[in-house]
Copies of this chain bind each other. A is one copy, B any other.
Amino acid sequence: MKVVVLLSGGLDSVTAFQEALRQHEVLAGLSFDYGAKHHARELPMAAWHCAQAGIPHRIAPLAFIAEEFQSDLLSKGGEIPDGHYEEETMRSTVVPFRNGIMLAIAAGFAESHGAEGVVIAAHSGDHAIYPDCREDFLRPMAEAIREGTYARIELLRPFVSTDKAGIVRRGAAIGIDFARTWSCYKGGEIHCGSCGTCVERREAFLLAGVPDPTIYSETGDLPAKPSDRPSDK
């Protein structure tokens, strides 16, 4: 199938891209620049994987989000909180309906270029705090994309039954260089190791039993999920 892959440069989307290269005809890797703090670290990773594969890389600028939306993920926003991804505090990093916007643009781009599918790396363990990562959102969005395009474009969700540790295992199996992926929302020189995305990344490698090639500033004990803490039970 001819596909366009949503490719942020993170661990999940790079794995989805590398798997798609092996299973489909990939027409392009599609990134978005909406003014997030970590874009300067993340987008070059996406560009690198496309260049290696000889696939066009496109970056859709979304200045309107940077200017008009509220989120601590954005350069103009507040500090990125530390702790587990499931913490209530991580809600401040939500960019409202971000996946909806990226998928809609990807669908139009795909239809413009003769693709039959769009690949998104959303996974089963994906953040309870982000409503636009859940299947309850992705299922109707897939239907909207199918019904709203002539080509009846399909939304492919290869990780729908896989958690992040499973993605690490699948990526390791096909030899992905995970050092060429970026997760940290703070967007410093190296991964911080303590924000929600870094905690989730470290946890995924541990659970997968795959060596983590990432260099972190902070490598102390991983915090427990809020739902695993005795006080929450």
Contact = CB atoms under 8 A, between A and B. Distances in A.
Nearest to A69: B112
Interface stretch (A14-22, A55-63, A163-171, A213-221): A55-63
A70 interface: yes
Contact of A108 (B95, B109, B149, B150): B95
B97 A148 contact: yes
Contacts of A63: 61
Interface in A53-79: 58, 60-65, 68-71
The residue among A61, A65, A104, A150 with the most chain B CB atoms within 10 A of its own CB is A104
Given A64-B61, A104-B101, A140 B147 contact: yes
Contact of A99 (B113, B140, B148): B148
A100 interface: yes
A108 B103 CA distance: 13
Contacts of A96: 107-112, 149-150
Tell me if A's interface is mostly helix, strand, loop or mixed. helix
A208 interface: no
A65 B62 CA distance: 11
B70 A60 contact: no
Contacts of A105: 64-65, 101, 104
A144 B61 contact: no
Given A98-B108, A131-B148, A64 B60 contact: yes
A48 interface: no
Interface in A136-158: 136-137, 140-141, 143-145, 147-150
Interface of A: 58, 60-65, 68-71, 94-101, 103-105, 107-113, 131-132, 134, 136-137, 140-141, 143-145, 147-150
20 contacts: A58-B64, A58-B68, A60-B64, A65-B105, A68-B109, A71-B112, A96-B110, A96-B111, A96-B150, A97-B145, A97-B148, A97-B149, A100-B148, A101-B101, A104-B105, A132-B149, A134-B147, A140-B147, A141-B144, A141-B148
